[in-house]
Amino acid sequence: MKYISTRGHVEPKGFIDTVLMGLADDGGLMVPEQIPAVSAATLEEWRSLSYQELFLKIFSLYTNDEIPYEDLKELVATSYSTFRSPEVTPLHQVNDSLYVLELFHGPTFAFKDVALQFMGELYSYISRKRGEIIHILGATSGDTGAAAIQGVRGKEGIKICILHPHGKVSKVQELQMTTVDDSNVLNLSVHGNFDDCQKVIKDLFADLDFKGRYHLRAINSINFVRILAQTVYYFYAYLQVEGSAEKKINISVPSGNFGNIFSGYLAKQMGLPINKLIIATNENNILERFVNTGEYKPGNFKSTYSPSMDIQVASNFERYLYYLLGEDAEKLSGYMSKLQSEGKITVDGELLAQVQSDFDALGAKNQQCLDTIGKYKQEYDYLLDPHTACGIAAYEAFSGNGETTITFATAHPAKFDEAIQLIAIKQEFPAPIAALFEMPQHQTVVEHDKEVIIRELQAFYE
């Protein structure tokens, strides 16, 4: 298996070189040359596997044995030993038609741990085995940063710098990142929003001289391994639902950077028989507008009760567009140039029909998000975090009669108590979260200025 860029100007790469490259050197995103197929019979054989076993089956289709099987097995075992649930991502049945896949049982209580605990182990392995210098650079709206830091803190041969938008992450997210005092961690708190942070890091990855000189590595979902690690729980969720082969199974995914739901799209292309993939966003509803009208146009940034999804420019949209355009790198490059020069792209006719057959989408309003949290607490005594609540609102909008929906719970409600308090619900914090409030913070507040950020990075990485 080789990996190529959506823009078509990178020599095909192996698995580990793809991990190390992160953002493709031509500015595109890396994808597999061919998506491996999983037959219905194989899928049934996988039904009884543990999460870790399933992970190994799926990764073995992609790694070309560049990581010997026994080594991969050990990496996976170590990665998921930090989870509070033996099932890693347990499935909770809410009612006859709704299941919630709880993705928040990792160290930082959000779905990002599922891929980033593994990526931390993987980077450490690559550093040991190949002697590569690993200088991670990432942007976060709160959860990726916390999970990535937790995945590599204190690890030899690795340094990590995370940019987060100053004052625009929840208190718990901020504390999870900034109370870490290991010397291999740098938190830059940037005046601006998540899109500003993401733009800076993408510009730095696109500067090949800078990227090479400082050995920059990506942990955001621009890195294909993040996407691949996230496909595992789509398979796992589907296989946990009794009789899923005879049912129509929809999956509703709280979405921002489009990484999580793109993993679902990939799983579906591999043969997982998902009925509808439902994109759930908040009032930053660029993806909803795209699905409904065919126009992809970043709008004005809004702060909402689900701050991790306060994103206008969705990184992985490019990967989906590449497949929508029939894997035509030249066409894709044309669309991306148009997005750059005109600030929007539009698809219509057959392409729009394809989009609408691939996805349903809802941008939940702030009040709808709070109402959904209140309703599920009252009716089912189940407390949703605000991102998951957007996912549930989308399930309510799109699930037809007789269809079963799995909604992804992407974070624990304790991470977003600011929203939970607005509906007068008092929650008890899990001990690791409660402990954060007593700890000193370490962060550098900087202006949204690329040159200032470069100076901070040079001082840290050198």
Ligand X SMILES: Cc1ncc(COP(=O)(O)O)c(C=O)c1O
Ligand Y SMILES: N[C@@H](CCOP(=O)(O)O)C(=O)O
Q: Which amino acids are annotated catalytic?
A: 112
Placement of tokens 């709070």 in the chain? 370
Q: Which is nearer to ligand X, 56 or 392 (CB)?
A: 392
- If one counts every other C-beta atom within 10 angstroms of the C-beta of residue 357, the result is 9
Question: Which position among 25, 143, 195, 417 is part of the footprint of ligand Y (CB under 6 A)?
Answer: 143
**Residue 140's binding partner out of ligand X, ligand Y, none, with CB under 5 to 8 Å set by partner kind:** ligand Y
Backbone angles phi, psi at 429, to 5 degrees: -80, 140
Q: How far is the CB of 446 from ligand X (least distance, A)?
A: 22
Give the separation between CA 403 and CA 245, rounded to whole angstroms: 13
CB nearer to ligand X: pick between 25 and 102: 102
Q: Which residue has the tokens 């291999």?
A: 184
DSSP class of residue 102? E
228 binds, among ligand Y, ligand X, none (CB under 5 to 8 A by kind): none
Q: With contact defined as beta carbons under 8 Å apart, do 117 and 144 qualify?
A: no
Query: Using CB under 6 A, which of 387, 414, 417, 420 touches ligand X?
Result: 387
Least separation in angstroms between residue 385's CB and ligand X is 7
Binding test (CB under 6 A) with ligand Y, winner from 150, 240, 308, 312: 308
CA dihedral 355, 359, 360, 362 (to 10 degrees): -90
- x-marked contacts with ligand X along 259-298 as a string, rule CB under 6 A: xx--------------------------------------
Instruction: Report if residue 126 touches ligand X, rule: CB under 6 A.
Output: no
Report helix, strand and coil shares of the chain as percent, to nearest 5. Answer: 50, 15, 35
How many CB atoms neighbour CB 11 within 10 A? 9
Work out whether 315 is an interface residue with ligand Y (CB under 6 A): yes
Residue pair 114/138 in contact (Cβ under 8 Å)? The answer is no
Cβ 277 vs Cβ 358: under 8 Å: yes
Of the two residues 5 and 223, which places its CB atom closer to ligand Y in the complex?
Answer: 223
272 and 43 Cβ atoms separated by less than 8 Å? yes
Collapsing DSSP to helix, strand or coil, 210 comes out as helix
Near ligand X by CB under 6 A: residue from 108, 333, 410, 443: 410
Minimum gap (Å) between residue 144 Cβ and ligand Y: 3
Residues 299-318 that bind ligand X (CB under 6 A): 308-309
Q: Does 80 sit near ligand X (CB under 6 A)? A: no
Query: Could you say whether residue 388 binds ligand Y (CB under 6 A)?
Result: no
Binding to ligand Y by residue 221, rule CB under 6 A?
yes
Judge contact between 419 and 304, C-beta under 8 A.
no
Interacting residue ranges for ligand Y, rule: CB under 6 A: 140-145, 220-221, 256-257, 259, 308, 315
Interacting residue ranges for ligand X, rule: CB under 6 A: 110, 141, 143, 221, 254-260, 308-309, 387, 410-411
